[in-house]
Amino acid sequence: MSDPLAKASSDALGVQFSDVSKRYDRHMVLRDINIDIGDRELIVFVGPSGCGKSTLLRMLAGLEETTSGTIRIKGKPVNDDPPRERDIAMVFQSYALYPHMTVGQNIAFPLRMVGEGREQQRAKVENTARLLGLTDYLDRYPRHLSGGQRQRVAMGRAIVRDPAVFLFDEPLSNLDAALRVQMREEILALHRQIPATMIYVTHDQVEAMTLADRIVVLSDGEVQQIGTPHEIYNTPQSRFVAEFVGSPKINILPAKAEARGRHSTRVTLSPDCVFDADFDLPDGSGLIDVGVRPEALTTGEGALRLSGTVSHGEYLGATKYVYADVSLLADSKPCRLVVAVPPEAAVQTGQAVTIGFDPAQCHFFAADGSRL
Amino acid sequence: MSWSPGWVRGHWTALFRTVALCLLGMAVLFPIYWMLVIAITPTGFSRSLPSIFPQTVTWQNFTSLFADRPMARWLVNSIVVATLASFLSLVFGTSCGYVLSKLKFRGAGLIMIGVLVTQMMPGTSIIVPLYILFRDVGLLDTMSGMVVGHISLVIPIAIWMSKGFFDRVPPDLEASARIDGCTRLGAYFHVSLPLALPGLAAIFIYGFVTSWHDFLFAHSLVHSQQLWTAANGITSFRGQYFTLHELQMAAALVFALPVIIVFVVMQRWIVSGAMTGSVR
Among A115-124, B115-124, B267-276, the least confident range:
B267-276
Q: Are residues A8 and A152 in the same domain?
A: yes
Give the A:B interface size as CB pairs under 8 Å. 92
pLDDT band at B265 (very low <50, low <70, confident <90, very high): confident
- When pLDDT is cut at 50, 70 and 90, the band that residue A102 belongs to is very high
Answer yes or no: are the C-beta atoms of B77 and B232 closer than 8 Å: no
Contacts of A157 in chain B (CB under 8 A): 176, 180
Claim to verify: residue A224 and residue A330 sit in the same structural domain: no
Interface confidence, given as ipTM, is: 0.85
Answer whether A109 touches B (CB < 8 Å): yes
Answer yes or no: do A201 and A55 share one domain. yes
User: Mean pLDDT throughout A355-372?
Assistant: 92
CA A287 to chain centre: 29
Task: Give dist(CA A237, CA A372) in Å, integer.
Answer: 9
Interface test with B, best of A88, A100, A112, A201 (most B CBs within 10 A): A100
Q: What is the CATH number of the domain that holds A8?
A: 3.40.50.300
d(CA A372, CA A370): 6
Rounded Cα–Cα distance for residues B257 and B253 (Å): 7
Residues of A in contact with B186 (CB under 8 A): 113
DSSP state letter for B46: G
Report how far apart, in Å, the C-alpha atoms of A131 and of each of A134, A158, B142 are. Answer: 8, 13, 64
Q: Which residues of B touch A98 (CB under 8 A)?
A: 173, 176-177, 190-191, 278
Chain B residues within 8 angstroms (CB to CB) of chain A: 170, 172-173, 175-183, 186, 190-191, 194-195, 273-280
Residues A300 and A204 in one domain: no
Give me the mean pLDDT over the A258-286 stretch. Answer: 89
The Cα B28–Cα A134 span in angstroms is 53
**Same domain for A295 and A279:** yes
Is A61–B180 a contact, with Cβ atoms under 8 angstroms apart?
no
Chain-chain contact of B178 with A97 (C-beta, under 8 angstroms): no
How far apart CA A224 and CA A204 sit, in angstroms, is 16
Q: Based on the domain organization, do A83 and A176 belong to the same domain?
A: yes
pLDDT value at residue A1: 37
pLDDT per position as a tens digit, A339-349 = 999 999 888 89
Taking a C-beta distance cutoff of 8 angstroms, is the pair A250, A241 a contact? no
- Boundaries of domain holding A231: 4-243
Question: Which residue from A minimizes the CA distance to B191?
Answer: A98
Report the number of distinct structural domains present in chain A: 2
Q: In the prediction, which pLDDT does A7 show?
A: 39
Mean pLDDT of B1-14: 82
Q: Are A48 and A244 in contact (CB under 8 A)?
A: yes
Question: Are residues A286 and A207 part of one domain?
Answer: no
Question: Mutate which of B176, B182, B269 to test chain A, going by most A C-beta atoms within 10 A?
Answer: B176
Which of A73 and A194 is assigned the larger pLDDT? A73
pLDDT over 90 percentage in chain A = 75
CA distance to A99, A104, A127, A369, B89, per residue, from A141 (Å): 7, 9, 19, 50, 32
Q: Are A347 and A341 spatial neighbours (Cβ–Cβ below 8 Å)?
A: yes
Q: What percent of chain A has pLDDT over 70?
A: 97
Residue ending a domain, choose from A243, A273, A306: A243
Length of chain A, in residues: 372
Q: Which of A84, A106, A175 to mutate to test the interface with B (most CBs of B within 10 A)?
A: A84
Q: What is the pLDDT of residue A226?
A: 97
Average pLDDT score over chain B: 89
Assess whether A212 and A328 both reside in one domain. no
Chain B contacts of A82, Cβ < 8 Å?
178, 183
Å from B137 to nearest chain A CA? 44
Q: Given this model, what pLDDT does residue A8 score?
A: 39
Note the pLDDT of residue A285: 85
- Identity of the residue in A96, A141, A144 whose CB atom sits nearest the CB atom of B176: A96
Give the tens place of pLDDT for each residue, B44-59: 777 777 788 888 889 9
Whether A198 is in a domain gets the answer yes
pLDDT in tens, B68-96: 889 999 999 999 999 999 999 999 999 99
Instruction: Provide the pLDDT confidence category of residue B278 given band limits of 50, 70 and 90.
Output: low
Residue A69 lies in a domain: yes
In a domain? residue A372: no
User: Taking CB atoms and an 8 Å cutoff, what residues of chain B touch A142?
Assistant: 276-278
Helix axes B245-267, B5-39, angle to 10 degrees: 120
* Burial (0-12, 13-18, 19+ Cβ within 10 Å), B176: buried
Of the three residues A220, A243, A266, the one that is the final residue of a domain is A243
Give residue B1's pLDDT.
Answer: 55
Task: Specify if A303 maps to a domain.
Answer: yes
Other C-beta atoms within 10 Å of A292: how many?
Answer: 24
Residues 6+ apart with CB under 8 A from B204: B86, B87, B90, B262, B266
Residue range A56-84, pLDDT digits in tens: 999 999 999 999 999 999 999 999 999 99
Q: pLDDT tier at B149 (50, 70, 90 boundaries)? A: very high
A370 in a domain, yes or no?
A: no
Residue A127 and residue A41 share a domain: yes
Cα gap A221→A51, rounded to integer Å:
5
CA A63 to CA A235: how far, in whole Å?
35
Residue A113 in contact with partner chain B when CB distance is under 8 A: yes
> Of A222, A243, A264, at which residue does a domain stop?
A243
Query: Which DSSP category does A281 fall into?
Result: -
- Residue A49 belongs to a domain: yes
- Say whether the peptide bond before residue A248 is cis (omega within 30 degrees of 0): yes
Provide the whole-model pTM: 0.82
Question: How high is the pLDDT of residue B5?
Answer: 81
Q: How confident is the model at residue B274 (pLDDT cuts 50, 70, 90)?
A: low
pLDDT at residue B272, rounded to an integer: 62
Residue A36 lies in a domain: yes
Q: Is the separation of the CB atoms in B167 and B232 below 8 Å?
A: no
A258/A164 same-domain check? no
Q: Are A163 and A85 in contact (CB under 8 A)?
A: no
Are A158 and A274 in the same domain? Answer: no
Which chain A residues have a beta carbon less than 8 Å from that of B273? Answer: 143
Contact predicate A167/A86, CB 8 Å: no
Q: Determine the Cα–Cα distance for residues A127 and A123; give it in Å rounded to an integer.
A: 6
Measure the CA–CA gap between A97 and A91, rounded to whole angstroms. Answer: 10
How near does any CA of chain A get to the CA of B184, in Å?
Answer: 9
